């Protein structure tokens, strides 16, 4: 019998991306945290548990020794939706096999990888279940399998799901593992589970495989936030659920009281948190129970941090695709839900509609007179292509829906367009990726058109010039610029003139817009030290004016420069240090 106290365990995080769960850096998912907590609960000392991301293994060959020498190697990962990532690169199947081949001890893998593995993590693809040469594959909860495997002396386990009591224990006990993440503490956001499962059965989605919604009590989630906060975490996202509005209810109708206890409790135990965002909100919930939904959305917007996004799974505005794939919301219903979220939560802190300062104001608000922060909470739209029944007309239905939202003066934080991944166990398994592959060229053209006609003007509405984005973390250099993002749900990619120190954090004022990104300058920009590239990024300042600004330094005040609205971007802080 293997004594748990003698075990050396290595957890490798290959990252996850599910319909209701995200764990690509700067996110860390629940899987490695809960697995670490299960190990501790089973008797493995914390100091004998090592955590690594797949990117750490790529960057440092010496780290592979921890995989090779571990008595137990736990791999968690898997992608059931395709995406493009900046902060990390999800493990590819060949890399996961190499982990199994390297491990001399017992190896087990779990997470959404259990639903299937494709040749690569991309859309328009089919998958098959594969153990990738591991000793064990957890076909239910990875953390429950890890606990039972240790309890058995590494002999085996029966697949099962953990209960609420286990989850609560393991969530707190495993919080320590975040300190081993390379992004800890400043650039790490913890994905928080409030529930899993879904009452609806969309043809392509893996979330219903978890069953009907199963909710954690507010005190369980709040206790986990408390434990993570004690470990230095300041950024949280309630992303592990199919529908945040249904939290704590019957699985479908909103329960504002449960949301109040959840959000209020989080704010109480983590008063200094810097990010509190969410992910999924079902538009059908908003339109079927509009008054309760409005109250729930209002509670969220009172407690969250600006720039939050409620991802709406419209999936397709084509009524034929909707019926063929058991989708639960029509385009008209989704439009109404978009409107309600805009009205209730599309206000900007300090501006019209802010309930703390303006009882009679209205939202959404945008334009030159709007407050200079991102709106509190906006909807995002998810569209999936390659579903059963899709034709050329499907693309036109989707474009008309998006244009309607824009023409009505509403805001969307982002539009997520992707091609389906077909997983065994879903209704799309039989159709596979055939339709997506047939429409691949049409999909590319349509996606580019949406970026040009919707995304760019919508982004100008959501984040007009002069919008302040606090705490942008600088991540990489490209083409003489530095790129970074805030922490949060679907954060804007920000390009800044010049090459600045990576890893640093700066406040940014937005100056220009791409399709899904913005250009900005450090805020406030000092006239007496700003570079030519920074000055020319400001609206209304060309190279000639920027040259005049530099030549005529120093300045005592911004009023010395005759450029409209320049005070939205600059200050004159240090005349004694001017060029």
| Mean per-residue pLDDT, 228-235 | 97
Check residues 102 and 324 and name the one with the higher pLDDT: 102
Average pLDDT over residues 227-242: 95
User: Where are the alpha helices (H) located in 2-70, listed in sequence order?
Assistant: 30-41, 54-59, 64-69
Over residues 268-297, mean pLDDT: 96
Q: What span, in angstroms and rounded, lies between the C-alpha atoms of 195 and 174? A: 18
Domains located in the chain, CATH noted:
1-184 (3.40.50), 306-463 (3.30.750.200), 467-571 (2.40.50.140)
Give yes or no for residue 381 having a pLDDT over 60. yes
% residues pLDDT > 90 (the chain): 68
pLDDT digits (tens, 9 = 90+) for 485-530: 999 999 999 999 999 999 999 999 999 999 889 999 999 999 899 9
Specify the range with the lowest mean pLDDT, choosing from 164-173, 200-209, 340-349: 200-209
Query: Cβ(96)–Cβ(54) under 8 Å?
Result: no
Instruction: Give the orientation angle of helix 290-303 with respect to helix 331-345, to 10 degrees.
Output: 40
Contact yes or no for 234/274 (Cβ under 8 A): yes
- Are the C-beta atoms of residues 286 and 293 closer than 8 Å to each other? yes
pLDDT band at 199 (very low <50, low <70, confident <90, very high): confident
Asked if pLDDT for residue 18 goes beyond 70, the answer is yes
Q: What is the pLDDT of residue 115?
A: 64
299-320 pLDDT tens trace: 999 999 999 999 999 999 999 9
The reported pLDDT for the residue numbered 566 is 85
Helical segments of 231-361, H only: 256-269, 283-288, 290-303, 319-324, 331-345
Is the pLDDT reported for residue 577 higher than 90?
no
- Work out the mean pLDDT of the chain and round it to a whole number: 90
CA 9/CA 157 separation, integer angstroms: 17
Cβ atoms of residues 5 and 68 within 8 Å: no
Mapped onto helix, strand or coil, the DSSP state of residue 164 is: helix
What confidence score (pLDDT) does residue 552 get? 87
Whole-angstrom Cα distance, residue 459 to residue 514? Answer: 8
Q: Which residue has the higher pLDDT, 29 or 93?
A: 29
Quick: pLDDT tens for 114-135: 766 545 544 444 445 566 789 9
C-alpha span between 578 and 554 (Å, rounded)? 5
CA quadruple 24, 28, 383, 490: dihedral, nearest 10: -90
In 3-state terms, what secondary structure has residue 517?
A: strand
Q: How confident is the model at residue 470 (pLDDT cuts 50, 70, 90)?
A: very high
CA distance 352 to 357: 8
- Rounded to the nearest 5°, which phi and psi values hold at 121? -85, 80
Helices (H), 103-211: 142-151, 164-173
Q: What is the dihedral angle through the alpha carbons of 9, 12, 16, 21, rounded to the nearest 10 degrees?
A: 30
Least confident of 164-168, 466-470, 562-566: 562-566
**How many other β-carbons are positioned within 10 Å of the β-carbon of residue 368?**
9
Give the lowest-confidence range in 200-214, 247-261, 428-442: 200-214
Q: Sorting pLDDT into bands at 50, 70 and 90, what band is 95?
A: very high
pLDDT (mean) for 371-390: 92
Q: Where are the alpha helices (DSSP H) in 451-494?
A: 456-462
In angstroms, what CA-CA distances link 158 with 39, 126, 139, 143, 172? 16, 28, 9, 12, 24
Please determine, for residue 61, whether its predicted confidence score (pLDDT) is greater than 80.
yes
Tell me the per-residue pLDDT of 519-544, one tens digit each, with 9 for 90 and over.
999 999 998 999 999 999 999 888 98
Q: Is the dihedral of CA 525, 526, 527, 529 positive or negative?
A: negative
Rounded to whole angstroms, the Cα distance separating 118 from 124 reads 10
pLDDT at 182: 96
pLDDT at 576 over 70: no
From CA 152, how far away is CA 352, in angstroms rounded? 60
pLDDT in tens, 413-430: 999 998 877 777 676 777
Q: Is the pTM of this model over 0.85?
A: yes
Residue that is written with structure tokens 């309600």 in the block: 340
Residue 270 has pLDDT above 50, yes or no: yes
Beta bridge partners of 214: 196
Q: Is the pLDDT of residue 363 over 70?
A: no
Torsion sign, CA atoms 208, 209, 212, 214: negative
Nearest to 268 by CA among 234, 225, 230, 299: 225
List phi, psi (to 5°) of 247: -55, 130
Please give the C-alpha separations between residue 286 and each of 243, 289, 340, 487, 567, in angstroms, as whole numbers: 10, 6, 8, 27, 40
pLDDT of amino acid 356: 66
Outline where 428-530 has alpha helix (H).
434-438, 440-450, 456-462
Is the per-residue pLDDT at 228 higher than 90? yes
436 — pLDDT class (breaks 50, 70, 90): confident
């Amino acid at each position: 019998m293997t004594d748990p106290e003698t075990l050396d365990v290595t957890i490798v995080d290959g990252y996850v991306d599910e319909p209701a769960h995200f764990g690509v850096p700067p996110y860390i998912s629940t899987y490695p945290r809960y697995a670490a907590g299960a190990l501790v609960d089973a008797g493995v000392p914390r100091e004998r548990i090592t955590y690594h991301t797949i990117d750490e293994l790529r960057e440092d060959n010496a780290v592979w020794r921890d995989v090779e020498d571990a008595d137990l190697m736990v791999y968690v990962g898997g992608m059931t939706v395709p995406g493009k990532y900046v902060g990390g690169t999800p493990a590819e199947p060949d890399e996961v096999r190499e982990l199994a081949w390297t491990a001399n001890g017992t190896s087990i893998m779990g997470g959404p990888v259990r639903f299937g593995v494709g040749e690569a993590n991309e859309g328009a693809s089919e998958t098959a279940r594969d153990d990738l040469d591991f000793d064990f594959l957890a076909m239910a909860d990875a953390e429950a399998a890890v606990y039972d495997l240790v309890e058995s002396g590494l002999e085996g386990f029966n697949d099962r799901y953990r209960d609420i009591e286990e989850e609560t224990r393991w969530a707190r006990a495993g919080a320590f593992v975040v300190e081993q993440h390379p992004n800890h503490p400043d650039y790490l956001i913890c994905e928080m589970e409030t529930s899993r499962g879904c009452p609806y059965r969309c043809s392509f989605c893996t979330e219903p495989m978890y069953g009907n919604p199963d909710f954690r009590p507010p005190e369980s989630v709040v206790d986990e936030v408390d434990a993570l906060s004690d470990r230095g975490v300041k950024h949280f996202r309630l992303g592990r659920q199919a529908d945040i509005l249904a939290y704590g209810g019957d699985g479908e109708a909103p329960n504002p009281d449960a949301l109040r206890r959840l959000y209020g409790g989080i704010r109480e135990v983590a008063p200094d948190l810097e990010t509190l965002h969410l992910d999924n909100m079902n538009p059908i919930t908003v339109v079927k129970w509009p008054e309760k939904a409005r109250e729930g959305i209002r509670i969220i917007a009172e407690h969250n941090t600006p720039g939050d996004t409620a991802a709406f799974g419209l999936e397709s505005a084509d009524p034929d695709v909707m019926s063929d794939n058991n989708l639960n919301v029509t385009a008209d219903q989704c439009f109404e839900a978009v409107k309600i979220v805009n009205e209730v939560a599309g206000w900007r802190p300090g501006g019209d509609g802010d309930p703390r300062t303006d009882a009679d104001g209205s939202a959404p608000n945008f334009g030159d007179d709007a407050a200079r922060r991102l709106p509190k909470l906006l909807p995002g739209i998810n569209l999936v292509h390659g579903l059963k029944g899709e034709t050329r007309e499907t693309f036109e239905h989707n474009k008309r829906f998006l244009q309607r939202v824009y023409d009505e003066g509403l805001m969307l934080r982002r539009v997520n367009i992707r091609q389906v991944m077909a997983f065994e166990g879903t209704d799309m398994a039989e159709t596979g990726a055939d339709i997506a592959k047939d429409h691949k060229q049409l999909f590319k053209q349509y996606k580019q058109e949406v970026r040009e006609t919707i995304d760019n003007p919508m982004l100008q509405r959501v984040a007009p010039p002069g919008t302040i984005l606090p705490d942008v973390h600088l991540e990489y250099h490209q083409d003489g610029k530095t790129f970074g993002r805030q922490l949060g749900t679907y954060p804007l990619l920000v390009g800044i003139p010049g090459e600045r120190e990576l890893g640093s954090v700066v406040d940014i004022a937005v100056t220009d817009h791409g399709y899904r990104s913005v250009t900005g300058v450090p805020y406030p920009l000092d006239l007496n030290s700003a570079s030519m590239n920074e000055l020319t990024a400001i609206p209304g300042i060309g190279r000639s004016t920027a040259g005049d600004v530099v030549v005529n330094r120093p300045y005592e005040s911004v009023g010395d420069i005759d450029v409209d609205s320049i005070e939205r971007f600059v200050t004159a802080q240090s005349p004694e240090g001017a060029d």
